[in-house]
Amino acid sequence: LGLSGPPGAGKSTFIECFGKMLTERKHKVSVLAVDPSSSTSGGSLLGDKTRMTELARDMNAYIRPSPTSGTLGGVTRTTNEAILLCEGGGYDVVLVETVGVGQSEFAVADMVDMFILLLPPAGGDELQGIKRGIIEMADLVAINKADGDLVVPARRIQAEYVSAMKLLRRRSKVWRPKV
């Protein structure tokens, strides 16, 4: 699964929760988390693993943070090969967290079986903020943090995306993207 979304959408928290659920069901889970690299120093914080403390301690999970090192598309130059290595190493579920969201951060969509766009419910003008390119590539749009005071905004953004998705050309004849 490939996951992308804007900063603060809860990608790492979602992956930790989902990953723990999978390992409890006897799956072996690999997480390939891609972090942006500094254009000045070339360095990267690689902080996604630190936000997944429970999953990082799980013996049936492997988390590998990697810097983009200037590669565009939201993944690294070797993400596809890393996916194959994880599958070859016996991990039956591979989760790829992209660097973030933008018009072109969807290269992972061609590397995975399902591409998920994770969105927060109250980010302003959502349809303007998320570019058409990434919406067209999404197999699933998941509205995260949809509880408490955010239930109403979450339902509103869900309705907006359901309407928007009807206007886009589908990538598959057998799958209609869900929100």
Q: What is the DSSP string of 2-58?
A: EEE--TTS-HHHHHHHHHHHHHHTT--EEEEEEEPPPTTT------GGGG-HHHHT-
Q: Is the dihedral of CA 62, 65, 71, 75 positive or negative?
A: positive
Residue 46 has pLDDT above 80, yes or no: no
| More reliable by pLDDT, 45 or 153 | 153
Residue 67: name the closest of 92, 38, 24 by CA: 38
The most confident of the ranges 38-42, 82-86, 157-161 is 82-86
Between 9-23, 50-64, 127-141, 150-164, the lowest mean confidence (pLDDT) is in 127-141
33 within 8 A of 48, measured Cβ to Cβ: yes
CB 31 within 8 A of CB 97: yes
Does the domain formed by 2-167 have CATH 1.20.1250.20?
A: no
Q: If you ran DSSP here, which 8-state letter would residue 166 be given? A: H
Helix (H), strand (E) at residue 158: helix 151-166
Alpha carbons 154 and 125: distance in angstroms, whole number? 13
Sheet containing strand 2-4, edge to edge, reads 61-67, 29-35, 93-97, 2-4, 115-119, 140-143
Q: Is the pLDDT of residue 92 over 90?
A: yes
Looking at the chain, how many residues does it have?
179
Q: Is the pLDDT of residue 136 over 50?
A: yes
- Say what the pLDDT of residue 44 is: 45
HSE at residue 57, side-chain half, CA atoms within 13 A, is 3
